[in-house]
């Protein structure tokens, strides 16, 4: 019986994990490879304090966002695991 | 120098004390610290494990010299943690074994796959550890006046005590102590420098501020200054966008694939702790990595301001000679320059014989030659003196550099010893080995690895590949290990044939390409000869993509993996559901 109530939970869980992962990796890509490298010249026309914005993303900004992304992921995963009654 | 000795002896005694306290009683203790490390503690240990002598001493200098081009290290060596947290660490923890080759060998039900993974792990780790040991030798010989080899022996002895006795458990808690030493040694001088130059005590904010008392931002002024002297502007890079993209990617995926980083996440109790731990690790790493670009920029500005166009004063009789220069209406070169000249980290060569020190770039408008050479390491080492901080801070920086080198060396030693005792002996060649025998073999392997690493440090000058750690270690980890681990978790259909093909197509071409352009016949080649214009540092990313494609293609044309394996993959995706599965766990049951 335990198996039966567990199976549908596991099925719904994984697609949600994948969705969350893809969204966060898109942001990861945009702030580093995007803002820091590919769109850097465009962003450099703006500035943050005394630093051109693209340059700042490449040397500082992307790192702050990386940290935020991981903690957001942890919180979101804990919510998901609660929803599907998974105990990690 | 007395303060240096004080800090070095004091920190070393602490590490030994911790080692005695945290002895390992079983293989579970020895390889994964009994799965009992708190996620925040593990985050701190991971940060020390990760930040090597190069991060601590050289990175700020590299960024100072490269300006925007240095961003590849900043993004590359932090972005990998996002990949670790989201794609690898929690699932590998849920898998529940000791090493990276364990995962590759069991997930792909093949000892051949296991052996290829062992070869990758050993090559990456040995390349990396030789650099750490030679870093220890340099620190000892330059700052404590002992012989280079004696310095390495001292480093070997200390790592021997805590790695051989305590295994991962001893390593974890010494790494925590080493993190505290290194972060303190890094940030204190940075705060003072920031305050001096910009009036803001937070280096990350000083980085964005104006120069104190002037109406121009520090970065814009630095950019102008270096451009005027004939260097590439600070806000630009001579590298192509594609190359910057590939290097950053190779460093990120390489970070995520490095065995000594991955195994740190095996030490926490649950999968959820593994991802949280990756977050904390990045917080602790970011404390240094967001300060480094500020330190680099401040130091480059300070060095040009205080050295360029001053009258050279040698270290002998510095006081009287510099007073004489001032009296004659000139500006004497700073005292720190004279002090560091004796270590060989800075040098002055009076090309035009005018007695003045000219710093010039390759495109100097006044046509003068550069006369001042400055090692990358000086930016961090001389910071306390440039900021006129007391002597004890200078000694602390040396202890910090040693902490960074030793903590990384210890993490690598755990990979090397477990690859031999666990992956080769217990899992491949002597499958019936008892836990007690394995623990003994693990200790012997760790001892052997310490000695081997020491000798690689001593002969690092003769081994050309050691200087190419960045290209080799990260390129190979990205191209050979990352794809099979990723596909092993996220694609159930990935099979043994695909995994072996993928690892080999990642490993061999990457190795050959780096060897050719860094050490072999193509050493003098220009960027035009690079494949697609990608430098050896970035090529790992290109072959990683190839390895992913090859892995998928080969798997699709061969037999799907057995049901046991597919069930195993289902289990590791969902925390708390891991059960034992026939083929996958026949050689070793998962550890909770």
Q: B435 to chain A nearest CA, in Å?
A: 27
State the CB neighbour count (10 A cutoff) for residue B297.
Answer: 27
Q: Which of B86, B95, B578, B579 to mutate to test the interface with A (most CBs of A within 10 A)?
A: B86
Residue B373 pairs with which residues in a beta bridge? B347
Size of chain A in residues: 88
Pick B281 or A12 by higher pLDDT: B281
Q: In this complex, is the C-beta atom of B577 within 8 Å of any C-beta atom belonging to chain A?
A: yes
How far is the alpha carbon of B240 from chain A, nearest alpha carbon, in Å? 10
Bridge partners, residue A47, by sequence: A52
Long-range Cβ contact pairs of B546-549 (< 8 A, separation 24 or more) = B546/B479, B546/B505, B546/B506, B546/B509, B547/B479, B547/B480, B547/B483, B547/B502, B547/B503, B547/B505, B547/B506, B548/B483, B548/B486, B548/B487, B548/B502
User: Which tokens belong to B198?
Assistant: 């910009």
* Chain B positions in Cβ-Cβ contact with residue A13 (cut-off 8 Å): 574
Per-residue pLDDT of chain B (592 residues; tens, 9 = 90+): 578 888 888 888 898 888 888 877 788 888 888 888 999 999 999 999 999 888 888 889 889 999 999 999 999 999 999 999 999 999 999 998 889 999 999 999 999 999 999 999 998 898 888 888 888 887 777 777 788 888 888 888 888 888 888 888 888 999 999 999 999 999 999 999 999 899 999 999 999 999 988 889 999 999 999 999 999 999 988 888 999 999 999 999 999 999 999 999 999 999 999 999 999 999 999 999 999 999 999 999 989 988 999 999 988 888 888 888 888 888 999 988 888 888 778 899 998 888 899 999 988 888 889 999 988 888 888 888 887 888 888 888 888 888 888 899 889 998 999 999 998 888 888 888 888 898 889 999 999 999 988 888 888 777 666 666 777 889 999 999 999 999 999 999 999 999 999 999 999 999 888 888 877 777 777 777 788 778 888 899 999 999 999 999 999 999 999 999 999 999 999 988 888 888 888 888 887 6
Substitution target in B40, B42, B46, B68 with the highest count of A β-carbons within 10 Å is B68
Residue A48: beta bridge partners?
A51
Cβ–Cβ contact B208 with A under 8 A = yes
Where are the extended beta strands (E) located within B256-362?
346-348
Task: Produce one character per residue of B59-87: b if its CB has 16 or more CB atoms within 10 Å, e if not.
Answer: bbbbbbbbbbbbbbbbbbbbbbbbbbbbb
Partner-chain contact A49 B570, CB within 8 Å: no
Contact, B27 vs B98, CB < 8 A? yes
Alpha-carbon distance A7 to A12, whole Å? 9
Chain B residues lying within 8 Å of A22, measured CB to CB: none
Give the closest of A14, A24, A60 to B204, CB-based: A60
Whole-number pLDDT of residue A3: 44
User: Which pLDDT does position B208 carry in this prediction?
Assistant: 93
All residues at 6 or more sequence positions from B216 whose CB lies less than 8 Å from its CB, including other chains: A50, B210
Residue of chain A whose alpha carbon sits nearest to that of B76? A32
> How does DSSP assign B75-121, residue by residue?
HHHHHHHHHIIIIIHHHHHHHT-S-HHHHHHHHTT-HHHHHHHHHHH
Interface confidence, given as ipTM, is 0.92
Please tell me if residue B335 touches chain A, with a CB cutoff of 8 Å.
no
CA distances, B5 to each of B2, B396, B516 (Å): 5, 9, 43
Return the residue in A5, A48, A50, A62 with the most chain B beta carbons within 10 A, the one to mutate for interface testing. A50
CA distance B581 to B144: 56
Distance from the Cα of B294 to chain A's closest Cα (Å) equals 9
* Chain B, nearest residue to A62 by Cα: B75
Most confident of A61-70, A76-85, B392-401: A61-70
> Contact, B99 vs B264, CB < 8 A?
no
Q: Name the residue of chain A whose CA is nearest to B88's CA.
A: A21
Could A58 and B245 be called an inter-chain contact, meaning their C-beta atoms sit closer than 8 Å?
Answer: no
Neighbours of B525 (CB within 10 A): 13
Q: How far is A11 from chain B (nearest CA, A)?
A: 10
Report the gap between the CA of A1 and the closest CA in chain B (Å): 16
């Amino acid at each position: 019986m335990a198996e039966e109530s567990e199976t549908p939970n596991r099925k719904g869980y994984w697609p949600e994990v994948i969705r969350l992962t893809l969204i966060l990796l898109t942001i990861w890509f945009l702030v580093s490879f995007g803002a820091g490298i590919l769109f850097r010249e465009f962003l450099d026309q703006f500035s943050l304090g005394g630093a051109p914005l693209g340059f700042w993303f490449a040397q500082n900004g992307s790192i702050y966002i990386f940290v935020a992304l991981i903690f957001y992921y942890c919180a979101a995963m804990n919510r998901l695991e609660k929803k599907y009654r998974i105990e990690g | 120098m007395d303060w240096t000795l004080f800090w070095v002896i004091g920190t070393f005694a602490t590490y030994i004390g911790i080692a005695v306290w945290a002895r390992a009683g079983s293989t579970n203790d020895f390889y994964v610290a009994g799965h009992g490390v708190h996620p925040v503690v593990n985050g701190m240990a991971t940060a020390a494990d990760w930040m090597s002598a190069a991060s601590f001493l050289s990175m700020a200098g590299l960024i100072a010299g490269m300006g925007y081009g240095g961003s590849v290290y900043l993004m590359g060596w932090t972005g990998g943690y996002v990949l670790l947290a989201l794609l690898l660490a929690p699932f590998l923890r849920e898998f529940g074994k000791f090493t990276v080759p364990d995962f590759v060998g069991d997930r792909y039900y093949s000892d051949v796959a296991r052996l290829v993974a062992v070869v990758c792990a050993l090559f990456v780790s040995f390349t990396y550890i030789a650099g750490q040991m030679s870093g220890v030798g340099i620190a000892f010989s330059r700052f404590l006046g002992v012989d280079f080899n004696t310095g390495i022996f001292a480093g070997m002895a200390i790592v021997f005590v805590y790695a051989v006795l305590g295994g991962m458990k001893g390593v974890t808690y010494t790494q925590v102590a080493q993190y505290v030493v290194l972060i303190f040694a890094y940030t204190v001088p940075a705060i003072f420098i920031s305050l001096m130059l910009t009036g803001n005590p937070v280096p990350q904010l000083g980085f964005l501020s104006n120069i104190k008392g002037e109406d121009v931002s520090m970065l814009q002024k630095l950019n102008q200054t270096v451009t005027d002297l004939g260097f590439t502007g600070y806000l630009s890079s001579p590298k192509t966008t594609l190359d910057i993209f590939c290097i950053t990617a190779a460093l990120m995926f390489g970070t995520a694939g490095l065995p000594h980083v991955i195994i740190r996440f095996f030490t926490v109790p649950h999968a959820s702790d593994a991802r949280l731990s990756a977050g904390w690790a990045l917080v602790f790493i970011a404390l240094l990595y967001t300060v480094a670009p500020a330190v680099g920029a401040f130091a480059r500005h300070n060095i040009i301001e205080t050295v360029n166009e001053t009258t050279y004063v040698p270290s002998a009789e510095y006081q009287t000679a510099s007073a004489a220069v001032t009296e004659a209406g000139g500006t004497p070169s700073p005292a720190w320059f004279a002090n560091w000249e004796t270590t060989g980290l800075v040098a002055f060569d009076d090309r035009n014989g005018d007695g003045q020190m000219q710093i010039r770039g390759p495109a100097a408008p006044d046509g003068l030659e550069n006369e001042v050479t400055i090692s990358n390491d000086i930016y961090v080492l001389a910071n306390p003196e440039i900021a006129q901080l007391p002597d004890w801070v200078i000694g602390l920086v040396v202890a910090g550099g040693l902490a960074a080198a030793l903590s990384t060396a210890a993490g690598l030693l755990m990979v090397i010893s477990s690859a031999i005792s666990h992956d080769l002996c217990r899992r491949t060649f002597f499958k019936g080995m008892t836990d007690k025998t394995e623990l003994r073999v693990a200790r012997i392997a760790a001892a052997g690895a310490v000695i081997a690493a020491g000798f690689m440090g001593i002969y690092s000058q003769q081994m050309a590949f050691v200087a190419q750690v960045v290209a080799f270690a990260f390129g190979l980890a990205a191209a050979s290990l990352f794809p099979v681990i990723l596909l092993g978790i996220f694609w159930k259909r990935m099979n043994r044939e695909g995994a072996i093909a993928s690892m080999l197509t990642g490993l061999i071409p990457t190795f050959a390409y780096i060897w050719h352009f860094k050490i072999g016949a193509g050493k003098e080649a220009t960027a035009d000869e690079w494949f697609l214009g990608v430098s050896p540092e970035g090529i790992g990313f290109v072959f990683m993509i190839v390895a992913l494609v090859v892995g998928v293609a080969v798997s699709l044309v061969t037999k799907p993996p057995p049901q046991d394996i597919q069930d195993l993959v289902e289990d590791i995706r969902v925390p708390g559901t891991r059960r034992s599965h026939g083929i996958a766990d026949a050689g070793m049951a998962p550890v909770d």
